[in-house]
Amino acid sequence: MAIREILKMGDPFLLKKADPVKQFNTAELNQIIQDMIETMEANDGAGLAAPQIGLSMQLVIFGFQKNERYPEAETVPFTILINPKIKPLGDEKENGWEGCLSVPGLRGVVPRYKKINYQGYDQFGKKINRDVEGFHARVVQHECDHLLGILYPMRIEDLSMFGFHDVIFPE
């Protein structure tokens, strides 16, 4: 078990598309997932995608009960999601603040689909199929963007809503 180093924005690896996972429930995959969980928890993250620790794999983890980085956000069930596909449910988007462990210290307002369906697999190859909305939908869209080589600042439409967390949200 190990806390992995998180790549930061500017690293070209974060701009690459990740490869699909072909084998489930292997010792190697389970070790990677354990390391991702430890890395996310050590950094108080709401989610983490495999490319953020330098792995070209369509694998994300997310979820929390209460997150210090997002005190207003509703609970999102802890999920391991592999080879995900997202479908928007309707055209409606909403704006919300996001941060990213690869973009430390910053926050920005990002438009995301309000409601989505997402499908994929857990670490055992069991199918996941959920309709979600709100912050849960936002986290999934953010994490799955990492698998496409997209970081949230690339989605910001109004750059006046992008800045340092401790300035925007003073204690």
The set of catalytic residues is: 143
The rounded distance, in Å, linking the Cα atoms of 65 and 19 is: 30
Q: Whole-number minimum distance, CB 73 to Ni ion, in Å?
A: 15
Q: Which residue is nearest to Ni ion (CB)?
A: 100
The rounded distance, in Å, linking the Cα atoms of 94 and 108 is: 13
Shorter beta-carbon distance to Ni ion: residue 82 or 100: 100
Shorter beta-carbon distance to Ni ion: residue 24 or 86: 86
Q: Whole-number minimum distance, CB 119 to Ni ion, in Å?
A: 21
The rounded distance, in Å, linking the Cα atoms of 82 and 127 is: 9
How many residues comprise the chain? 171
Q: Whole-number minimum distance, CB 125 to Ni ion, in Å?
A: 25
Q: Whole-number minimum distance, CB 46 to Ni ion, in Å?
A: 9
Shorter beta-carbon distance to Ni ion: residue 50 or 100: 100
The rounded distance, in Å, linking the Cα atoms of 5 and 39 is: 8
Task: Using alpha carbons, list the distances in angstroms from residue 114 to 1, 67, 68.
Answer: 36, 20, 23
Shorter beta-carbon distance to Ni ion: residue 123 or 141: 141
Residues in contact with Ni ion by the rule CB under 5 A: 100
What sign has the CA pseudo-torsion 85, 108, 11, 38? Answer: negative
Give CB contacts under 8 A, 24+ apart, made by 23-28: 24/82, 24/121, 24/123, 24/124, 24/125, 25/123, 25/124, 25/125
